[in-house]
Structure 1
Amino acid sequence: MTAYIALSYCWGKSQNVTLRSENLELMKLGFMVSGLPQTLQDAIAVTRALGQQYLWVDALCIIQDSPSDWEVESSRMASVYRNAYLTIAVATASDVSEGFLSRNYRATNPWYREPYHEDWLNRDGCSTMLGARLVEATEFFNDKGDFAHKLPWTLRGWVLQEQELSRRLLIYEAYELHWVCQNKNTYQCSSDQVLSSGYSVDLLVGPPIFSITASTAHKQQWHHIVVHYTARELTDSRDKLPAISGLAKIFQEVIQSPYFAGMWVKHLLWDLLWDCVGRNVGYASEQYIAPSFSWPSASSDVVFGLDLMSPTDEWVPRAVIEDIGSIIDGKDPLGRLSNGWIKLRGFTFKAALADNPDGPQEHGFQRYSVWTEYLGEAIFKKTHG
């Protein structure tokens, strides 16, 4: 296979050079690099510096006004990033016009201080340099102890699978390079601390995607991915399933389970126990994305109820799936849907949909004057081990 580098970046509003049906033949003849947005120019420079000939860029490799080409290519994202020699990740630029090799961070960050450095002799008597950089921790944390700054790259929904599927990531952050591969996560200054760049690159905690096996706790790992994914942003809500289909393909190869609206038939009962949290709680997308009982239908962040329970508790299914089905909208079997349904047999109880007394946007079920957030007890029974 021919080696190539992939690019992961934020389009922003300045992506004015794209591959389209009307310029396809003209683009094949070639174009001036100087006419490309700055981020693409910088990525080409890095590719050449690394001695590589080919660079994969979505804007130039997918026909943007062709729904059929977009569907086919978006379904191949797993192989594109998984097979790349490495992925260049532009973490700090929110727009393709900004670039990443020559940005003036001193002007945009008033807290920045020039690093201290002086000539130094190490313990072996060799001449080297001693350097230090001031890191203002109060600039990076909010009152909840979370990182106050998030890199634009980590906020985008499409980026998650590019980030997780890449075998090697060369991340351009504010002041240094961040290297991530299957067995190493380090910064240019040799520190393993996230604060070394003054920002947080949200790398998932848990087994690497390439280590997922049939024996792995892939149910929890998939839930972990979904929780991180729903906290990110998508320009088009219809991309909710396509933008994670590459990761779904990798999981499906391992766990050998039918995929259904962002959930797995193999452990569907667990996947059904999701709940809305954070922004836009309780609101569905204005367009049809997925059936209302599946997490992609919600516009808010989600969590999975059983993942929050005590590890000493055992939850045993007490419902049975009798029928399940969906209608694919397009060419990607793991992508967009036009319909979906499920039929369960199990225990039920009468309840009324009610407002949560703790918040006007929260909804749940009122049963015998007892507030219930979800119907988990009707699907599972709990045992203590």
Structure 2
Amino acid sequence: MLPGQADEGLCHKCNGLDFFTIFGPEARCGIIAPIAIRDAIANEHICVFCKFLVTIGRKIIDRPFYVTERNGVDMKFLFERRWKAPVRDALGSIVSGGGSLSVRIWPAPSPFDSAARIEFYLCPMWLDEDKGWHSLSTRFVLENEIDLSLCRRWLMDCEGTHATACREVLHFSSDLPPDFRVVDVQDECIVSPPAGCRYVALSYVWGQIETLCLTQEDLEWFECPGVLDKHALANAKTILDAMSIVSKMGERYLWVDRLCIIQDSPTKAAQLRAMDVIYGAALLTLVAADGPDANAGLRGITPGSRSLPQHTEVINDDLALTVSCPAPTDLRLSAWSSRGWTCQEQLLSRKFLIFSGGQVMWQCGSCFLCEDTEGSNKAGPLTRLEQVEIDVDVPKAINPGAVFFQPTHLFRPKIFTQYASIVRGFTKRHLTYQDDVLPAFQGFGSILERSFNCKFIAGLPEAYLDQALLWLPAVMQKRRTTSAQDCPSWSWAGWIGESRYDDTEDDNRERVVPVIKWHVIERSSILKQANGTGIGLQESNFGLPRTLNTFLWIPLFDLLSGRIHSTPSIHHTTDTGPYLHFWTSCAFFRITLRPSPPDQNNASKNPPLRALINSASGPYAGHVVLNGSGPTELVPGRHEFVVVSEAQLTGYDAVRSMYRASERCEMWNVLLVEWDERGGAERVGAGRVSKRAWSAAGPVVKFVELG
């Protein structure tokens, strides 16, 4: 035995570690003493654990330990024990959970490393009586290819043992759309699915490439067995790999838009509207997160297409330690995560097999697993894909005794909070073709329409129109133009760039009171009242009885215009896009640009322009957030502020860009509009103005056609 060496190839210090306790559930295992790196280097020739730490440490920092102290402080391996309750499969075997050991190098070896947390995770594998290695949450991986039998086992475990939430469809669903088809990976052709068909869906980036796709002319040809095998060279590499995955997992049917939707068929629009059903009803969704287009393929499916070394060391007769493999590139930085179409595919799916960086990950409601271990055992930016489950709740509502001018209390329903989150996530993404913005949102729209119990107008819920109009740009946006002219300026869909809604207060009160009677025109010359009443909030759409507010409410500016109960006439010929028509109060103010305050939720280097609204009645009348790069100076007769609702707010703190809540309506919610030569208006910003300053500006009541 060498000097300083203990039994079983460990130094005296490491021999005192109780690895069974460290990696087990026993609560008595407290703080694990750190090991100085200079001591580990001195003992690496006599201690397998010290040698393992030093070897992995050198790989992590990608160089030898030239120094073992920083600024007089000894560099150490710091340990933190992790434990997660195990999850067992149908046979009682533990498939996830258990213990792991976080190892951190501190302080950093050089100033260049200081910004990063230099860390790796050690996971245990035990030798049982049958001389086979087993683990609570660790697996050996194949270095050159993905073991798809593991993916199949993940699916079987989820179906057999996980909570009901993993097995049920999480969203409202109906029958699959007409002409629904799937790829039969066994017969290599396109088929109409049999009753009760289990199918896997594919989510990937199309890119601007020409590959095999389904058309009306080729439909009969695509239905011939073996046709996809004969024309494999014309098929996208990602789709071919997906077919192989489905087959090796023991499934038969795959849904992929390029081959299952007839691209030139009149039924295509109906299928696009049914993305919530298609992805929500799928057995699971394959996510192809790598590459810019459909020919990128899935690394790790073909033998030799990846290299994933797994570093393992046998510590003693019955314990081996393995280092969790490097985490794949952060999915939030992938091309897949940036595309508009994949947003709904992600949020509406129930379970995922995520292929990224030559690795595969499993995500469901109960687990997030990598090939070698739990996702939580990765030392890197590895986060779950966000999913949405639409909840229907009956909101606290308008005071049943509210009439006429008495302010009412409006509380935000949970469904609108979920809608706001979806809008923000969706508008962060990019679309190759701007005409796709509303079709790519329609998967959400189908669910949300049922939840709001109303139709959507250009992406906004008609039943919650007063609040939906108050979206704000989170970045400096650019006006979106589409061939159908169906994206008006008053909708977030009419602008390119991230949009958001203000959060409510702790009591969930909106602080918005309706004063406008809304008329809508879409693709015809016939005006209709929003919600059937013209009120921007329709109580009955949320399962509530209509209150006196519905029957006795009088729109303020219709009354002031002398046009109460009369249908407005269209002042000029409109385009085909949606227009809002309403009587409102209009006023002109000067503005002063000011820097945007930091937004913790948005680290964009392209923040929106903000401006203070100047007033003769006080230092600041309020503020406005501009959608695009201007106007930076307002011109009388061309620009004007228009009221869209009352705000139960008072005062404006120009330093903090904040308002104070009020029980009275002391401010107006306003849009900044620009008039065109025909007398129509377009939104160019949104904000709030105090009523005192508004009255001092000499406002006038006008009929507005907002497009």
Q: Same-fold call, TM > 0.5?
A: yes
Cα drift, residue 149 of structure 1: 6.5
- Hey, what does 2:323 align to over in structure 1? 131
- Is 1:260 aligned with 2:457? yes
- Is 1:295 aligned with 2:487? no
- Hey, what does 1:334 align to over in structure 2? none
- Hey, what does 1:214 align to over in structure 2? 393
Sequence identity (%): 22
- Is 1:339 aligned with 2:577? yes
Q: Is the 8 A contact 1:19 1:27 kept in 2?
A: yes
Instruction: Name the CA shift for 1:64/1:364 in 2 (closer, same or farther; >3 Å).
Output: farther
Instruction: Name the CA shift for 1:276/1:285 in 2 (closer, same or farther; >3 Å).
Output: farther
Q: Is the 8 A contact 2:215 2:264 kept in 1?
A: yes
CA deviations on 1:69-98 (whole Å, 9 max, x unpaired) are 321221121111111111111112222112
- Hey, what does 1:161 align to over in structure 2? 344
C-alpha separation between the residues in 2 aligned to 1:201 and 1:14? 30
- Hey, what does 1:231 align to over in structure 2? 428
The runs of 5 or more residues in structure 2 that have no matched partner are 1-195, 395-412, 525-574, 597-606, 626-640, 650-660, 664-707
Cα drift, residue 373 of structure 1: 1.2
Farther off after superposition, 372-381 or 233-242: 372-381
- Match of 1:26, SS state, is helix
CA deviations on 1:125-156 (whole Å, 9 max, x unpaired) are 4x6662334569xxx7xxxxxx7961121111
C-alpha separation between the residues in 1 aligned to 2:390 and 2:645? 34
Q: Is the 8 A contact 2:203 2:345 kept in 1?
A: yes
- Hey, what does 1:39 align to over in structure 2? 238
Q: Is the 8 A contact 1:8 1:90 kept in 2?
A: yes
- Hey, what does 2:593 align to over in structure 1? 356
Instruction: Name the CA shift for 1:56/1:103 in 2 (closer, same or farther; >3 Å).
Output: closer
1:48 to 232, 247, 261: 247
- Match of 1:373, SS state, is strand
Residue identity in the other structure for 2:357: A
C-alpha separation between the residues in 2 aligned to 1:121 and 1:81? 48
C-alpha separation between the residues in 1 aligned to 2:645 and 2:447? 32
- Match of 1:266, SS state, is coil
2:615 to 351, 368, 372: 368
- Is 1:58 aligned with 2:58? no
Residue identity in the other structure for 2:385: L
- Match of 2:218, SS state, is helix
Q: Is the 8 A contact 1:272 1:293 kept in 2?
A: yes
C-alpha separation between the residues in 2 aligned to 1:164 and 1:62? 21
For 1:6-25, list aligned pairs within 5 A: 6-25=201-220
Cα drift, residue 49 of structure 1: 1.3
Instruction: Name the CA shift for 1:282/1:354 in 2 (closer, same or farther; >3 Å).
Output: farther
Farther off after superposition, 226-235 or 214-223: 214-223
- Hey, what does 2:648 align to over in structure 1? 381
Residue identity in the other structure for 1:209: V
Q: Is the 8 A contact 1:17 1:37 kept in 2?
A: yes
C-alpha separation between the residues in 2 aligned to 1:131 and 1:323? 63
User: Greater Rg, structure 1 or structure 2?
Assistant: 2
Instruction: Name the CA shift for 1:313/1:171 in 2 (closer, same or farther; >3 Å).
Output: closer
For 1:30-179, list aligned pairs within 5 A: 30=225, 31-33=227-229, 34-35=232-233, 36-66=235-265, 68-102=266-300, 114-119=309-314, 125=318, 130-133=322-325, 150-179=333-362
Q: Is the 8 A contact 1:150 1:201 kept in 2?
A: no
Q: Is the 8 A contact 2:591 2:611 kept in 1?
A: yes
C-alpha separation between the residues in 2 aligned to 1:61 and 1:154? 23
CA deviations on 1:84-130 (whole Å, 9 max, x unpaired) are 111111112222112113389x999xxx99542234669xx4x6662
CA deviations on 1:23-62 (whole Å, 9 max, x unpaired) are 2222122413333221111101110112111111111111
Farther off after superposition, 368-377 or 21-30: 368-377
C-alpha separation between the residues in 2 aligned to 1:73 and 1:7? 15
Q: Is the 8 A contact 1:90 1:153 kept in 2?
A: yes
Residue identity in the other structure for 1:116: H
C-alpha separation between the residues in 1 aligned to 2:590 and 2:301? 53
Residue identity in the other structure for 1:37: A
RMSD between superposed Cα atoms in Å: 3.6
1:250 to 447, 455, 471: 447
- Hey, what does 2:481 align to over in structure 1? 285
Cα drift, residue 316 of structure 1: 3.1
- Match of 1:88, SS state, is strand
Q: Is the 8 A contact 1:118 1:129 kept in 2?
A: yes
C-alpha separation between the residues in 1 aligned to 2:612 and 2:576? 29
Instruction: Name the CA shift for 1:14/1:349 in 2 (closer, same or farther; >3 Å).
Output: closer
Farther off after superposition, 294-303 or 315-324: 315-324
CA deviations on 1:228-259 (whole Å, 9 max, x unpaired) are 10110111111111101111111222231232
- Hey, what does 1:203 align to over in structure 2? 385
1:271 to 453, 468, 474: 468
- Match of 1:257, SS state, is coil
Q: TM-score, normalised by structure 1?
A: 0.78
Instruction: Name the CA shift for 1:277/1:83 in 2 (closer, same or farther; >3 Å).
Output: same
Farther off after superposition, 280-289 or 226-235: 280-289
Q: Is the 8 A contact 2:337 2:343 kept in 1?
A: yes
C-alpha separation between the residues in 1 aligned to 2:590 and 2:480? 16
Residue identity in the other structure for 1:368: S
- Hey, what does 1:180 align to over in structure 2? 363
Cα drift, residue 220 of structure 1: 1.2
C-alpha separation between the residues in 1 aligned to 2:285 and 2:269? 22
C-alpha separation between the residues in 1 aligned to 2:582 and 2:374? 51
- Is 1:319 aligned with 2:557? no
Aligned length, in residue pairs: 352
Residue identity in the other structure for 2:515: A
Q: TM-score, normalised by structure 2?
A: 0.45
C-alpha separation between the residues in 1 aligned to 2:420 and 2:609? 22
Q: Is the 8 A contact 2:352 2:362 kept in 1?
A: yes
